[in-house]
Chain A
Amino acid sequence: MNQSDNRGVPQPGVPRRRVLAGLAGVGVAAGAGSLLAACGSSGPATSAAGASGKTRSGGNLMVGLTGGSSSDTLDPHKGITDIDISRIQTLYEPLVTLDIQAQKVQYMLAEEISPQNGSLTDWVIRLRPGVTFHDGKPLTADDVLFSIHRIISLAAPGKIFMGPVDVNGTKKLDSTTVLVKLTSPIAAYAEQLAAAPFDLLIAPTTLNPAKPNGTGAFQYKSFTPGQRSVFTRNPRYWQHGLPYADTLTIIDFADTVSLADALTTGQVHAAGTLDPPQVPVLDNAGGVDVVVSKAGSIIPFTMRVDQPPFNDVRVRQAMRLLVNRPQMIDSALDSYGTAASDVFSLYDPDFDRSLVREQDIPQAKSLLKQAGKEGLKVTLTTSAVLSGVVAMATVLAEQAQAAGVTISIKNVPPGTFFGPNYLQWNFSQDYYSYFPYLTQVAQSMLPGSPYNETHNNDPRYTSLYNQANATANDGLRKEILSEMQQLDFNQGGYIIPAFTDTLDAYSTKITGYAQSRLGQPLMNYGFAHFAFTG
């Protein structure tokens, strides 16, 4: 069977936000026979993890997730929560996605993305032939252009991932080829697009949100926001042999306890967005397989580098030095995490593993003294927006005492947290699923970034970012990224104690799932690959 038993490495958290990030590792042919690669098209690489036992086609797959509400949507460009993404990423598809090992670009609706005449500002996207929408309409360049324009005009989250698009210069070259023109170069454009497939879904020009019509493995049947959605198999799906199930029902759950119970009693077959307390319970229940994925997700503490006291880099470094990372993981994340050293993008090929930071209280105290901030008192704004967030804040406050720092916790409801003060808090937290390095920087480390919690504005850093994007040479780019990571490590406003795990659980009645490094639930919503056994 394909499910790997990852129980050995406890990792926590299920970073949901940006969760969408991550690409649908739909390309992975999780077990269940080798039908995937069969039909002709050069579909996503099937890293089939070995033979899976008997599987059959058909069945009604029931999936449960938390985090939904009556604002649930099926609009491909307005998804916000995990459960939104689980739906829209099933109905619609992106041009490219990252594989679940977070290493390679997988081509979905695009067959090739290459620079026109070597120019890093002109990218030619050639579409996969023979793909149709659920209503039979063929996928064309017009649909891609429509989606690009819509994302820009809605100022949807996908806008940042598309890069600086020159709308006037972006046009179709023929019915299956699009030229995307950028106002400044991006060397690894396919990788950047692949970093956030959930935000870059391709919708038809005839898009009607009330009647979803995408290219995905399942098609729309019914939807009640806050309760459930029902989809049926797409008989025209371009990945022949997929999906296995006849219908897919995604159900909203109010909390993870009732979700885990539903899995135990067989009312759902797959449960994502689980919390650490459910793991031992599910482990003991019969007929359930818990899958812990060591994802590259993060829950950073964010310090405003433009406001006292954190505008003094010595204070920032002191805060980072007082953290006992292994203890934070054990206490706040129930051991479901791997120690991090304030630098993000663990699985980026250019990730600098030499940057390691451990707790050093004497140094922290010394730095605070130099900065004249002994006995520092700060307020940390936290919120139960995700499992582990508040716990981490509480543990940090405990640990800070050793360095003479007093952190008072202000725990606000999620509605307030994401209210008018979001991205303005002096000292707070946030969460991200896995993003490759440059994409994470684009989201949160530049003056124009949509999620610049720390209000980072370092001309050298921004210049390096632009240089990296303009550099086609991998070796040179690696050096630039190395310098950027040094800056993150030495003077950034994030405290990243851990890379958090993703917790999923499945009924033993199904197969086809695997671990994913991307941070999204349920193998990046790889429902098309889940099959019933026997």
Chain B
Amino acid sequence: MNSPGAHPIARLIRRRLAIGVITLFLVSVVVFLATEVLPGNAAYAILGHNATPAQVRSLEAALHLNRGLFDQYWVWISGLLAGNPGQSLANGLPVWGYAEPRIINSAVLVFVAGGLGALIGVAVGAVAALRKDSWFDHVTSVIVLTVTSLPEFVVAIALIILLSTVVWRVLPAVSLLAPGTYAWSQPELLVLPVATLVIVIVPYIVRMMRAAMVEALESDYVEMARLKGVPERRVVFVHALPNAIAPTIQVIGLNFLYLAGGIVIVEYVFNFPGIGQALVSAVNGRDIPVIQFIVLVLAAFYVVMNIATDVIALLATPRRRIAR
């Protein structure tokens, strides 16, 4: 791209990335302190009801939990910067080996659900706007409103009952991926979790798209295009849609961010081996290296997704690209 707008965008990205790195650092400190404040520690969590004082002390020493806070944090962060996220306190396995397949699995969920949700949301929203006040529009509005009010796990359980255990038994109820296999190797295990997430995010995208599209369709330039005799198809796709998409991109971006956190519930209900489950388990186990690593991955995702959303929205809004 060699328009005058390239430089401001590149500058924007650089600046945001720099802020992002500082954000990640602050997040790691805050999460570390928050985990330390929680009662108990990994030694107690591992020993469970076998946690006699002697056992606890011995395990704490083995896990280096008896060092000072600053020491523990420093050991962790210096290891991380050297490329080694450390080992799980729960089982001694390397954090990277434990987290990597789960990160990939969750990423599959997030991007497939986010992508599908975006496509469906945009399509439905656009059609609803084009057929404003028709039965399609009204029915869509009602469905969207109803679904928005449903919590995620209700949607998940309803889908399980409908398609898996009671009404029809066509899909597996649980996503039992064998360790070491990736999510795409058994696509039937992805259907219900992805469907749940899509159902949860589509309403927001539909509403935003519809509103933005309606506004675009009622704008002066569209009216002008119609008066000029431009074919309706071109009016919609070349004039209205690109203008409606910019605010919708922000909503889509927000939904991706929501998905990063929202998959925790879906992973729990479907026993899906992703980072949501891993994070819950790590917090319960006060497994600091795992907690830190997963939180950082999520925070990095947030930072990058925020930047990407803003940049794409910017690119989709030509008048903002020009340096002022």
* A interface, CB within 8 angstroms of B: 17-18, 69-73, 80-81, 155, 157, 222, 224-228, 251, 253-255, 257-259, 261-262, 264-265, 267, 285, 413-416, 418-420, 422, 450-451
In the complex, identify which listed stretch (B25-33, B111-119, B278-286) lies at the interface while the others stay far away. Answer: B278-286
Q: How far is the CA of A225 from the CA of B87 in the complex (A)?
A: 14
B40 A415 Cβ-Cβ under 8 A: yes
Name the A residues within 8 Å of B174 (CB-CB): 253, 258-259, 261-262, 265, 267
A155 B55 Cβ-Cβ under 8 A: yes
Q: Which residue of B lies closest to A228 (CB)?
A: B179
Q: How far is the CA of A415 from the CA of B165 in the complex (A)?
A: 33
Q: How far is the CA of A418 from the CA of B53 in the complex (A)?
A: 11
Q: How far is the CA of A53 from the CA of B173 in the complex (A)?
A: 29
- Please give 7 more A-B residue pairs, beta carbons under 8 A apart, in addition to A265-B174, A267-B174: A18-B49, A70-B98, A155-B54, A155-B55, A265-B173, A415-B45, A420-B39
Name the B residues within 8 Å of A73 (CB-CB): 91
B173 A70 Cβ-Cβ under 8 A: no
Q: How far is the CA of A255 from the CA of B277 in the complex (A)?
A: 12
Q: How far is the CA of A314 from the CA of B173 in the complex (A)?
A: 53
B165 A261 Cβ-Cβ under 8 A: yes
Shortest CB-to-CB span from A422 to chain B, Å, is 6
Name the A residues within 8 Å of B178 (CB-CB): 228
Name the B residues within 8 Å of A155 (CB-CB): 52, 54-55
What are the interface flags for B250-272 relative to A under an 8 Å C-beta threshold, 1 for contact and 0 otherwise? 00000000000000000011110
Closest 10 CB pairs of A and B: A261-B173, A224-B179, A419-B40, A71-B90, A70-B90, A262-B174, A80-B48, A415-B40, A265-B173, A225-B91
B285 A71 Cβ-Cβ under 8 A: yes
A420 B176 Cβ-Cβ under 8 A: no
User: Which of the residues B52, B269, B271, B281 comes within 8 Å of A450, measured between beta carbons?
Assistant: B52
Q: Which residue of B lies closest to A286 (CB)?
A: B169
14 sampled A-B residue pairs with Cβ under 8 A: A69-B281, A69-B284, A70-B98, A70-B290, A71-B46, A80-B47, A155-B52, A155-B54, A255-B268, A258-B270, A415-B44, A416-B39, A418-B45, A450-B52
Q: How far is the CA of A155 from the CA of B285 in the complex (A)?
A: 22
A262 B176 Cβ-Cβ under 8 A: yes
B158 within 8 A of A: no
B312 within 8 A of A: no
Shortest CB-to-CB span from A507 to chain B, Å, is 14
Name the A residues within 8 Å of B169 (CB-CB): 264-265
Name the B residues within 8 Å of A255 (CB-CB): 268
B75 within 8 A of A: no
User: Which of the residues A222, A225, A418 comes within 8 Å of B51, measured between beta carbons?
Assistant: A418
Q: Which of B97-151 contact A (CB under 8 A)?
A: 98
Name the A residues within 8 Å of B282 (CB-CB): 70
Name the B residues within 8 Å of A18 (CB-CB): 49
User: Which of the residues B173, B179, B287 comes within 8 Å of A227, measured between beta carbons?
Assistant: B179
User: Which of the residues B38, B48, B269 comes within 8 Å of A418, measured between beta carbons?
Assistant: B48
User: How many residues of chain B have a CB within 8 Å of chain A?
Assistant: 46
B45 A71 Cβ-Cβ under 8 A: yes
B93 within 8 A of A: yes
Q: How far is the CA of A422 from the CA of B47 in the complex (A)?
A: 12
Quick one: given A81-B48, A415-B40, are A261 and B160 in contact (CB under 8 Å)?
A: yes
Shortest CB-to-CB span from B161 to chain A, Å, is 9
B88 within 8 A of A: yes
B164 within 8 A of A: yes
A264 B51 Cβ-Cβ under 8 A: no
B164 A261 Cβ-Cβ under 8 A: yes
Q: How far is the CA of A157 from the CA of B48 in the complex (A)?
A: 12
Quick one: given A253-B271, A258-B269, A265-B169, are A70 and B49 in contact (CB under 8 Å)?
A: no
B50 within 8 A of A: yes
B44 A420 Cβ-Cβ under 8 A: yes
Q: How far is the CA of A69 from the CA of B98 in the complex (A)?
A: 13
Shortest CB-to-CB span from B36 to chain A, Å, is 13
B44 A70 Cβ-Cβ under 8 A: no
Q: Which residue of A lies closest to B54 (CB)?
A: A155
Name the A residues within 8 Å of B85 (CB-CB): none
Q: Which residue of B lies closest to A451 (CB)?
A: B49
Q: Which of B22-80 contact A (CB under 8 A)?
A: 38-40, 44-52, 54-56
Shortest CB-to-CB span from A127 to chain B, Å, is 28
Name the B residues within 8 Å of A416 (CB-CB): 39-40
B50 A80 Cβ-Cβ under 8 A: yes
Q: How far is the CA of A419 from the CA of B178 in the complex (A)?
A: 33
B273 within 8 A of A: yes
Name the B residues within 8 Å of A265 (CB-CB): 164-165, 169, 172-174
Name the A residues within 8 Å of B160 (CB-CB): 261
B50 A415 Cβ-Cβ under 8 A: no
Q: How far is the CA of A451 from the CA of B50 in the complex (A)?
A: 9
The residue in B51, B93, B173 that gathers the most chain A C-beta atoms within 10 A of its C-beta is B173
Quick one: given A254-B277, A258-B174, A262-B176, are A415 and B51 in contact (CB under 8 Å)?
A: no
Shortest CB-to-CB span from A31 to chain B, Å, is 27
User: Which of the residues B91, B98, B269, B270 comes within 8 Å of A72, measured between beta carbons?
Assistant: B91
Q: How far is the CA of A418 from the CA of B47 in the complex (A)?
A: 9
Quick one: given A285-B165, A416-B39, are A267 and B173 in contact (CB under 8 Å)?
A: yes
Quick one: given A155-B55, A253-B271, A419-B44, are A267 and B172 in contact (CB under 8 Å)?
A: yes
Q: How far is the CA of A261 from the CA of B165 in the complex (A)?
A: 7
Name the B residues within 8 Å of A258 (CB-CB): 173-174, 268-271
B90 A420 Cβ-Cβ under 8 A: no
The residue in B50, B269, B287 that gathers the most chain A C-beta atoms within 10 A of its C-beta is B50
Quick one: given A71-B45, A254-B268, are A415 and B176 in contact (CB under 8 Å)?
A: no
Q: How far is the CA of A257 from the CA of B287 in the complex (A)?
A: 26
Q: Which residue of A lies closest to B267 (CB)?
A: A254
Q: How far is the CA of A414 from the CA of B284 in the complex (A)?
A: 9
A419 B90 Cβ-Cβ under 8 A: no
Q: How far is the CA of A17 from the CA of B271 in the complex (A)?
A: 23
Q: How far is the CA of A257 from the CA of B290 in the complex (A)?
A: 26
Shortest CB-to-CB span from A106 to chain B, Å, is 26
Shortest CB-to-CB span from A209 to chain B, Å, is 10
Quick one: given A70-B287, A225-B91, are A419 and B268 in contact (CB under 8 Å)?
A: no
A419 B51 Cβ-Cβ under 8 A: yes
Q: Which residue of B lies closest to A414 (CB)?
A: B284
Name the A residues within 8 Å of B180 (CB-CB): 224
Quick one: given A70-B282, A261-B160, A261-B173, are A418 and B277 in contact (CB under 8 Å)?
A: no
B93 A420 Cβ-Cβ under 8 A: no
Shortest CB-to-CB span from B279 to chain A, Å, is 11
Name the B residues within 8 Å of A81 (CB-CB): 48
The residue in A69, A71, A222, A416 that gathers the most chain B C-beta atoms within 10 A of its C-beta is A71
Q: Which residue of A lies closest to B45 (CB)?
A: A415
Name the B residues within 8 Å of A251 (CB-CB): 176
Q: How far is the CA of A227 from the CA of B284 in the complex (A)?
A: 16
Q: Which residue of B lies closest to A79 (CB)?
A: B50
B38 A415 Cβ-Cβ under 8 A: yes
User: Which of the residues B49, B270, B271, B287 comes within 8 Å of A422, measured between beta carbons?
Assistant: B49
Name the B residues within 8 Å of A259 (CB-CB): 174
Q: Which residue of B lies closest to A229 (CB)?
A: B179
User: Which of the residues A80, A225, A413 comes within 8 Å of B93, measured between beta carbons?
Assistant: A225
Q: How far is the CA of A20 from the CA of B287 in the complex (A)?
A: 25
Q: How far is the CA of A415 from the CA of B46 in the complex (A)?
A: 9
Name the B residues within 8 Å of A254 (CB-CB): 268, 271, 277, 280
Name the B residues within 8 Å of A419 (CB-CB): 39-40, 44, 51
